[in-house]
Amino acid sequence: LPPGSRLPSSRLLARELGVSRNTVLSAFDILASEGYTEAEIGSATRVSSILPETLQIPEYSDRLPTSAPATPCLSRLVQTRKRPSMGYADDIIPFHVSAPDLSHFPFDVWSRLLNRFWRNPPRDLLVNGDSAGYRPLRQAIAGYLRTFRSVECNENQVIITTGAQQALILAAQVLLNPGDRVWLENPGYPGLQHAITATGAIGAPVELDDEGISIEHGITIAPDARAAAVTPSHHYPTGVTMSLPRRLALLDWAASTRSWIIEDDYDSEFRYGSRPLSALQGLDRHGRVIYAGTFSKVMFPALRVGYLVVPSNVVDAFLTLRRAVDDHPPIAVQPALATFIDGGHFASHVRRMRGLYAERRESLIASLDSHFSGLLRPVASEAGMHICALLDPGYATGTEDGSVDKKMAAVARQNGINVTALSEFYLTEPARHGLMLGFAGFPPEILDCAARKLARILATT
Amino acid sequence: LPPGSRLPSSRLLARELGVSRNTVLSAFDILASEGYTEAEIGSATRVSSILPETLQIPEYSDRLPTSAPATPCLSRLVQTRKRPSMGYADDIIPFHVSAPDLSHFPFDVWSRLLNRFWRNPPRDLLVNGDSAGYRPLRQAIAGYLRTFRSVECNENQVIITTGAQQALILAAQVLLNPGDRVWLENPGYPGLQHAITATGAIGAPVELDDEGISIEHGITIAPDARAAAVTPSHHYPTGVTMSLPRRLALLDWAASTRSWIIEDDYDSEFRYGSRPLSALQGLDRHGRVIYAGTFSKVMFPALRVGYLVVPSNVVDAFLTLRRAVDDHPPIAVQPALATFIDGGHFASHVRRMRGLYAERRESLIASLDSHFSGLLRPVASEAGMHICALLDPGYATGTEDGSVDKKMAAVARQNGINVTALSEFYLTEPARHGLMLGFAGFPPEILDCAARKLARILATT
């Protein structure tokens, strides 16, 4: 049938071809959905005047089947790179370290805000994306950080990223050259380590004490370090909070050596009891701190919205690389998230979760106390979504290869308990052994039941 | 007031303090919103038992104001990098090269699909993101590409990215080492050039003829190239389509030299009249082609959803780097987009836009013909959202420094017309001069009016 010609009626065609009318109508639907026909309301269906792409079967379609080489030639970068592990299994069962409780998330508010934007979005926001992110969201984040984290910034210093990992990678790319040495907390967060080493920089594993990263040790092993990457609010994985004197000492080191500090403030929202210290960024008087945060912990990880706060004199450099990497963040949830924060929904969700998680944390500590009789002792910490519990040293030294906690974690997983070994997070031979126990995603009775089961498992291995 | 204690009544407090009750109520609201108080329904407001973070004003707050160094020490990568330009201004006025017409986008369907997912999303999708992207979306894309682009793939080969630029960067990082040579179309797409050179690879600018990139010229200037990066469906910026013999020759070259082909199929949906050729990927029998696509052109750029289709034997390598870069794409629009495609909305939007854009294209060609009397002649092309119109060579050679089209574009912009000079896209001395005229975002009468105005401007400069 030539373009523009009218299709025969389905009734007529069914009779002619000797098939049912439904068969003809199905065929018509397929033709219409693939663009071969077009119909105007109140008018007949016609063959489209502009035909869609049709499959051109090239004469080479009968060539040999795919003969890809067994060892494709890839970059050194990917060849030398293991698939990064965050050190924990993904199953959302106790004690998954970072699963939030989603049963209290206000999905009704969230979907209403999304819907409000998407019903009739301003057209210019859909075409020209801002590399730094949607300005009202940056304003909302800057306001939130000024109020709750003592971060000194305005929205021009905020850069929205596709999750915290992109924020850390971007910081590393802007600040570091291959071969540069960088202080890393040991043990420490694998995502931060990956971001640093992906640029070709070399991590220097620095010891921690109960005030945080040891400046002395850092200066001893890497006096020429170009940067330090730290988690001062709540050290990952042990939960230690960096003390104020240590914060000031780290800032002094950075100012005097003109080094950078990458501050990963990944779960600062969840503090129980004590007042938090100001972020390093808020204490910095020399523009040395790059501050990274995320919405994954308070909202949910698959949101993939993180941010950087950078000194004003390097904003342009960050945006230059940001544009080269993925141009700008998706508009998708940005307007809804801005309203979610501005309307107070974010703060009240944090508040509600903080109360809930505080209870769960207390309950887990009590469970450990009653089921483990001293074998597992929580590291002193007042924050976060997990507890780091150390193994009794007497227990730990009894084994051959020093990875007793990894063995325990493996056995626990076989028995349906998701725990993570502290020794996974060491860049060197582990100095301490323990288990990371996430509590945020699970109610007290489930936590207690899992703790009891874990104690039984560990007692029999 | 100690934690848990009851707040005095607002009436009482107003009387005691000698202020209006509204003032007290405002203060109570602020305390509640910041988490200092909590109220249960039907019960009194009390001081929260768990206090929120409060601002700790460190004793160093009166230090000197920020004394950041004037020249912060940044990476060589960012220092040597200009802010990438896509060669065009952002104003959405004629002839913006890539602004889609959004007045026909079914925002009602789109917001309904978003809402359907977000009202009550499956919790596991919010916690554990798939590095390759949401599987049903990958299935929808694989189905679409098999049907409409003859791409041979299943969903396991599809990797969702945050826009096409991230897809191209990821491909470059997985395939290329610093110092590798890569054939680049000259002129060519800046985003593709940036992706290649950001890895430290070196672009070799290869000539084009009316069948596409010249294999002979490529072999002459870079016989050892590790990859070729091309836009075969619709060369950016000139609009030339790579012929079938040239496609097969390029594939033969890649197979015999074990080089890679990066196929950027950025606007293959918009073809007018002729049947499209199969994608290079669909003709490849040796697993040499990495295929990149985007939803920016059919839907809108700020969606930031792109994808790669990669040979099965390199999927793991791609996912390893993808995880290291930003873990996984945001869940945000992925479920809605999957349903948008599966439900036929995507195909019917493409069809509607193809008809609309075909009209606009015809109309612009007619306008150029009537207003420019041969000064600007469209390059033969049957696809895309813009026309590349060459300047009459006699006109072009009349100027001193050979960038006559850049001057024209600058003058046009001063007069409110957004045109882009062809010479912006050359990696070498430009061989041809012309203007890129986007037509997709503007109705015929606006295009004609702008073309008339442009002709007047150019005649008087």
How many Cβ pairs within 8 Å bridge chains A and B? 359
Smallest Cα distance from A345 to chain B, Å: 9
Residues on chain B touching A311 (C-beta within 8 angstroms) = 66, 68, 72
Provide the token pair at A326: 């993925």
* Contact criterion met (CB < 8 Å) for B354 and A73: no
* Contact criterion met (CB < 8 Å) for A169 and B326: yes
**Mean of the pLDDT values across residues B161-181?**
95
Residues on chain A touching B74 (C-beta within 8 angstroms) = 174-175, 314, 317
Q: How far is the first Cα of chain B from the last one, in angstroms, to the nearest whole number?
A: 77
Residue in B177, B305, B321 nearest the CB of A76: B177
Provide the token pair at A31: 């033709």
In the predicted structure, residue A18 carries a pLDDT above the cut 50: yes
**Residue from A47, A24, A23, A25 nearest A36 by CA:** A47
Residue in A150, A163, A287 nearest the CB of B326: A163
The span from the CA of A173 to the CA of B379, in Å, is 40
Is 0.90 surpassed by the pTM of this model? no
* Contact criterion met (CB < 8 Å) for A301 and B127: yes
In the prediction, which pLDDT does B267 show? 83
Strands annotated E in A196-268: 202-206, 208-209, 212-213, 227-230, 260-264
Smallest Cα distance from B374 to chain A, Å: 28
CA dist list (Å): B190 to A73, B220, B229 = 26, 23, 11
- Interface test with chain A among B127, B284, B296, B333, by most A beta carbons within 10 Å: B127
In the predicted structure, residue B64 carries a pLDDT above the cut 60: no
Contacts of B216 (CB under 8 A, 6+ apart): none
Residues on chain B touching A304 (C-beta within 8 angstroms) = 129, 326-332
Smallest Cα distance from A287 to chain B, Å: 5
CB of A411 within 8 A of CB of A461?
Answer: yes
* Contact criterion met (CB < 8 Å) for A34 and B69: no
CA-nearest residue of chain B to A356?
B50
In the prediction, which pLDDT does A63 show? 36
User: B240: helix, coil or strand?
Assistant: coil
Q: Which tens digits make up the pLDDT trace of B110-156?
A: 999 999 999 999 998 998 889 999 999 999 999 999 988 889 999 99
The span from the CA of A110 to the CA of B18, in Å, is 41
* Contact criterion met (CB < 8 Å) for A81 and B163: no
* Contact criterion met (CB < 8 Å) for B107 and A120: yes
Residues in chain A: 461
User: Distance of alpha carbon A184 from its chain centroid, rounded?
Assistant: 19
In the prediction, which pLDDT does B87 show? 58
* Contact criterion met (CB < 8 Å) for B92 and A344: no
In the prediction, which pLDDT does B17 show? 78
Tell me which range, A82-91, B74-83, B434-443, is most confidently predicted by mean pLDDT. Answer: B434-443
Smallest Cα distance from A344 to chain B, Å: 7
Residues on chain A touching B343 (C-beta within 8 angstroms) = none
Smallest Cα distance from A392 to chain B, Å: 31
The span from the CA of B25 to the CA of B36, in Å, is 14
Q: Which tens digits make up the pLDDT trace of A174-219?
A: 999 999 999 999 999 999 998 999 888 999 999 999 999 999 999 9
In the predicted structure, residue A396 carries a pLDDT above the cut 50: yes
Q: Which tens digits make up the pLDDT trace of A123-148?
A: 989 988 899 999 999 999 999 999 88
Q: β-strands A434-438, A386-391: how paired? A: antiparallel
The 10 Å CB-count burial string (b at 16+, else e) for B88-127 is beeebbbbbbbbbbbeebeeebbbebbbebbeebebebbb
**Angle (CA) A51 A53 A55, round 5°:** 125
Q: What percent of chain B has pLDDT over 90?
A: 64
Residues on chain A touching B53 (C-beta within 8 angstroms) = 148-149, 268, 271, 275-276
**Angle (CA) A53 A54 A58, round 5°:** 120
DSSP summary character for residue A208: E
DSSP summary character for residue B176: -
pLDDT bracket for residue A39 (50, 70, 90): confident
Smallest Cα distance from B205 to chain A, Å: 20
* Contact criterion met (CB < 8 Å) for B119 and A99: no
In the predicted structure, residue A363 carries a pLDDT above the cut 80: yes
In the predicted structure, residue A261 carries a pLDDT above the cut 70: yes
- Give the dihedral sign, CA A42/A46/A51/A56: positive
Could you give the angle at which helices B345-372 and B444-459 cross, rounded to 10 degrees? Answer: 30
Smallest Cα distance from B419 to chain A, Å: 16
Q: What percent of chain A has pLDDT over 70?
A: 90
CB of A228 within 8 A of CB of A261?
Answer: yes
The rounded mean pLDDT for chain A is 88
In the prediction, which pLDDT does B364 show? 96
Q: β-strands B181-185, B227-230: how paired? A: parallel
In the prediction, which pLDDT does A60 show? 33
The span from the CA of B235 to the CA of B280, in Å, is 13
CA dist list (Å): B230 to A68, A202, B246 = 20, 36, 12
DSSP summary character for residue A163: S
* Contact criterion met (CB < 8 Å) for B67 and A285: yes
DSSP summary character for residue A71: S
ω into B187 cis (within 30 of 0): yes
The rounded mean pLDDT for chain B is 88
In the predicted structure, residue B66 carries a pLDDT above the cut 60: no
Q: Which tens digits make up the pLDDT trace of A281-323?
A: 999 999 999 999 999 889 999 999 999 999 999 999 999 988 8
Element (H, E) at A251: helix A244-257
In the prediction, which pLDDT does B282 show? 94
Q: Which tens digits make up the pLDDT trace of B381-431?
A: 888 999 999 998 776 555 566 688 998 999 999 999 999 999 999 999 999
Smallest Cα distance from A183 to chain B, Å: 17
In the prediction, which pLDDT does A69 show? 66
Residues on chain B touching A350 (C-beta within 8 angstroms) = 35
In the predicted structure, residue B56 carries a pLDDT above the cut 50: no
Q: β-strands A202-206, A208-209: how paired? A: unpaired
Q: β-strands A208-209, A434-438: how paired? A: unpaired
Contacts 24+ apart (CB under 8 A), A401-404: A402/A429, A402/A430, A402/A433, A403/A430, A403/A433, A404/A433
Could you give the angle at which helices B135-149 and B334-342 cross, rounded to 10 degrees? Answer: 40
Residues on chain B touching A330 (C-beta within 8 angstroms) = 162-163, 302-305, 330, 332-333
Q: What is the DSSP string of B107-129?
A: HHHHHHHHHHHHHS--HHHHHS-
CB of B170 within 8 A of CB of B176?
Answer: no
Element (H, E) at B105: none
In the predicted structure, residue A394 carries a pLDDT above the cut 90: no
CB of B264 within 8 A of CB of B297?
Answer: no
ω into A95 cis (within 30 of 0): yes
Residues on chain A touching B330 (C-beta within 8 angstroms) = 162-163, 302-305, 330, 332-333
In the predicted structure, residue A98 carries a pLDDT above the cut 90: no
In the prediction, which pLDDT does A298 show? 92
CA-nearest residue of chain A to B50?
A273
